[in-house]
Structure 1
């Protein structure tokens, strides 16, 4: 009979511990990625007319790079665009245009500028699925050997560059 009185207290303590552990995760807003630490998935992309096409060989060319999934219809992609232009001065940034009309993508780049060293078009979302994409924008730091070092979901801001991307880029360079 005594266990009946103790059971609710024990259950409450266990649930409280579970919820408290969630408060102390490193970054509760981060979305996990099974791709981090693995070789970048294959690319199933086509060329964007008039732009350098993104090829699988570019992902393992010995240089650290960013791979950015974007679309012309994506408002946060427009917000992060100046940050991508800044990052493109430091390392190659490859773009994957996601589920977009080629004319709209080209107009977007004409209006805002083109920070991408090469671009692939993921019209059927196959590459997005292979990379574990939740939505756009998403940016991946890829080491010179093609290993995915970081996945960042959401628009890149100055604080994201300082706190998240720069440490991952430095770790990729140190490999």
Structure 2
């Protein structure tokens, strides 16, 4: 009797784990930075290698940091929405151009539009590693104190913006736009 019960119990346990696995979102990778200070960085600006883009961009304002590259298919998919979002949301979008060719990236922005207040040029990918980037595109919501509020992996869409970002922003601000300059 017991020799038949053990395989049945093991099969039932395995079934529970498999059923649970079907309900998980394979695209969700939690960020260890949620609720913590954003990693500090200082990189040359994409448009002007003599200028610097640093983590100081987050001081005093709610912002987005979007990791992108011209070789990234998902980045091309989300780009039109980012241009629209930059014009309509009131929230500054900063770019982290990751392991890309500077000239190709500049042509991309000239041709498709530039949603970024500034883009940092991360040629070696070291800053992206510090941010825990798995692949482009990834978008981080950072508050006025430099605390990471949310991380999204995959192309940003209007639905994702509405369902995942806006609730966090309205919780902080009450509405869009949300300047948060000097706000606590």
What is the TM-score when the length of structure 1 is the normalising length? 0.88
Counterpart for residue 49 of structure 1: 47
Counterpart for residue 177 of structure 2: none
Q: Find the aligned partners of 2:100 and 2:16 in 1 and give their Cα distance.
A: 45
Q: Aligned with 1:80: secondary structure?
A: helix
**Residues 76, 54 of structure 1: alpha-carbon distance in 2 compared, 3 angstrom cutoff:** same
Counterpart for residue 142 of structure 1: 142
Q: Aligned with 1:57: secondary structure?
A: helix
CA displacement at 1:53 relative to structure 2? 4.0
Counterpart for residue 31 of structure 1: 29
> Equivalent residues in 2 for 1:14-163 (5 A)?
14-25=13-24, 27-50=25-48, 53-59=52-58, 61-89=59-87, 90=89, 91-163=91-163
Q: Find the aligned partners of 1:151 and 1:172 in 2 and give their Cα distance.
A: 16
Q: Aligned with 1:88: secondary structure?
A: helix
TM-align CA RMSD: 2.0
Q: Aligned with 1:54: secondary structure?
A: strand
CA displacement at 1:12 relative to structure 2? 0.8
Counterpart for residue 181 of structure 2: none
Structure 1 stretches of 5 or more lacking a match? Answer: none
Q: Find the aligned partners of 1:99 and 1:32 in 2 and give their Cα distance.
A: 23
Contact 1:149-1:172 at 8 Å conserved across structures: no
**Residues 81, 31 of structure 1: alpha-carbon distance in 2 compared, 3 angstrom cutoff:** same
Q: Find the aligned partners of 2:172 and 2:108 in 1 and give their Cα distance.
A: 30
Structure 2 stretches of 5 or more lacking a match? Answer: 175-183
Contact 2:95-2:116 at 8 Å conserved across structures: yes
The one-character-per-residue Cα deviations of 1:31-68 (angstroms, maximum 9, x if unpaired) are 22222222111224222234874221112x12111100
Counterpart for residue 13 of structure 1: 12
What is the TM-score when the length of structure 2 is the normalising length? 0.84
Q: Aligned with 1:141: secondary structure?
A: strand
**Residues 68, 4 of structure 1: alpha-carbon distance in 2 compared, 3 angstrom cutoff:** same
